[in-house]
Amino acid sequence: MAGCLDHMRFNLEFLNLGERRNIVASIISGTLFFIGWWILIDASAKYPSKLQFNHSYHVCGVIGTFALFMVNSISNQQVLGDSYSSGCMGQRGAKAWLFLGFLLAFAAIISATWILFGAYVIPQKSPQWPGVAVFLQNIAIFASCLVFKFMRAEDQF
């Protein structure tokens, strides 16, 4: 029984970065991650009052960061079943872990969108920057996750 992702391989050779591909992917991913957290730190510092920015909204960024670690903790070879060691749960466990990581990442984006519109846009609360900052932070963390997962070249076993 074949999985739906068994034959999907991402080939970004058109970038033609050669040996520097992993370095460039790491720099771009780290920069996106930094920008995301810096945006939220800016909003938190500019609006320290709980009436303007509820600090429990930081949870979305923490969940997105945890999802980034989950998604990037397993290699593409483990998901495809091409690695030497199958681990404790094998290919299905790797796919389940990757699925849970992406599920958390999308949950963070959805909850950040909910915060933006539910707490700031629809009630026309002023200022709206804290809600936009929460949303932008989670978009940047998710983009960082995708860049680090799919732009790097992994060693073939």
DSSP 72-126: HTS-HHHHHT-SS--TTTHHHHHHHHHHHHHHHHHHHHHHHHHHIIIIIITTT-S
The confidence score (pLDDT) of residue 101 equals 96
117 within domain boundaries: yes
107 within domain boundaries: yes
155 within domain boundaries: no
| Contact indicator for 117, 150 with CB cutoff of 8 Å | no
The confidence score (pLDDT) of residue 146 equals 95
33 within domain boundaries: yes
Number of domains the chain is built from = 1
Q: Angle at Cα 105 formed by Cα 92 and Cα 26, nearest 5°?
A: 90
The confidence score (pLDDT) of residue 82 equals 73
Question: How many CB atoms within 10 Å of residue 151?
Answer: 18
Q: Which two tokens stand for residue 70?
A: 């989950």
98 within domain boundaries: yes
CA distances from 31 to 5, 104, 140 (A): 29, 21, 9
56 within domain boundaries: yes
The confidence score (pLDDT) of residue 157 equals 41
9 within domain boundaries: no
Domain range holding 67? 21-150
| Contact indicator for 141, 32 with CB cutoff of 8 Å | yes
8 within domain boundaries: no
Which residue ranges in the chain fall short of pLDDT 50? 1, 157
Tell me the pLDDT tens digit for each residue of 29-53: 999 999 999 999 999 999 999 999 9
The confidence score (pLDDT) of residue 152 equals 83
Q: Which of 144, 134, 114 is nearest to 42 (CA)?
A: 134
Q: Which of 29, 61, 27 is nearest to 44 (CA)?
A: 61
| Contact indicator for 134, 60 with CB cutoff of 8 Å | yes
The confidence score (pLDDT) of residue 14 equals 57
pTM, full prediction:
0.84
